[in-house]
A and B are shown apart, each in its own frame.
Chain A
Amino acid sequence: AQTVTQSQPEMSVQEAETVTLSCTYDTSESDYYLFWYKQPPSRQMILVIRQEAYKQQNATENRFSVNFQKAAKSFSLKISDSQLGDAAMYFCAYRPHGNTGKLIFGQGTTLQVKP
């Protein structure tokens, strides 16, 4: 069975600094998708970034980038120039390739941004 693990329940970063959130996953599939979602205090989930497993290039969205290590089954999220609005819970998620519509989430990491 596929699993997603986020080993850092809480992280903190100083405003304008860089922080990296860790995620590992377990799968026997070779083709899949990985995501990072953000859940602010309003509780609405927001898709931050997406990575296709067949792509070697790491995905980037403005201040957010990932370090995808397929062999190590690692998918970390780097947030550069952290802003107060980045404070939220961040979830790593895995989706198998194909027509399943199924996402498997990690436990989440709460990020605190200090002014």
Chain B
Amino acid sequence: DGGITQSPKYLFRKEGQNVTLSCEQNLNHDAMYWYRQDPGQGLRLIYYSQIVNDFQKGDIAEGYSVSREKKESFPLTVTSAQKNPTAFYLCASSSRQGGQPQHFGDGTRLSIL
């Protein structure tokens, strides 16, 4: 079955450390997205990519970086510049540019050690 795979499910970061969250999709979707979810709040867009080798900042891109070297992969790096990284991170995809997320992964929960 097609879908989105996020790994790891749980991740711990030490102070000053960069960590990378993986997102892979086998849906042949053009667009991919990263969202952050804090307790009691809705999702906020970090970055999105509508085609390979192109991506745009969302509302809360500071302290994060992404790459889109392959259509099926959209990894998110949480850098040491992100001072409050503890959150639930969701990756999503859609079949066409300018659309809205149609499929979501199961998420990665990131915590600070």
Report if A and B associate in a common complex: yes
A residues neighboring B (CB under 8 Å)? 4, 6, 9, 33, 35, 42-47, 50, 91, 93, 95, 98-103, 105-108
The answer to whether A101 touches B90 (Cβ under 8 A) is: no
CB atoms of A101 and B42 under 8 A apart: no
A101–B33 contact, CB under 8 A?
yes
Contact stretch, chosen from B18-26, B65-73, B77-85, B91-99: B91-99
Contact A103–B101 (Cβ < 8 Å): yes
| Bound Cα distance from A102 to B59, whole angstroms | 9
The reply to whether A101 and B100 form a contact with Cβ atoms under 8 Å apart is yes
Residues of A within 8 A of B94 (CB): 101
Contact pick for A47, options B41, B50, B102, CB 8 Å? B102
**Cα(A98)–Cα(B99), bound, Å:** 8
CB-based contact A105/B31 at 8 Å:
no
A107 to B63, CA, bound (A): 23
For the residues of A in contact with B, the DSSP-based class is loop
What is the bound-complex CA distance between A95 and B98, given in angstroms?
A: 10
Complex interface bits, B34-62 against A, C-beta within 8 A gives 1, otherwise 0 = 00000011111100101000001011000
- Taking the complex as formed, is B104 at the interface, i.e. its CB lies under 8 A from any CB of chain A? yes
The verdict on B75 contacting chain A, using a C-beta distance below 8 Å, is: no
Bound: A5/B38 CA distance, A: 16
Interchain CB contact under 8 A, B43 and A100: no
A107 near B31: Cβ-Cβ < 8 Å: no
Contact in complex: B100, A91 (CB < 8 Å): no
Among residues of B, the one whose C-beta sits closest to the C-beta of A50 is B100
Closest CB pairs A-B (n = 5): A105-B42, A99-B98, A45-B104, A105-B43, A101-B48
A96 to B43, CA, bound (A): 16
B90 contact set on A, CB distance < 8 A: 43, 45
Q: Knowing A101-B33, A101-B94, say if A108 contacts B41 (CB, 8 Å).
A: yes
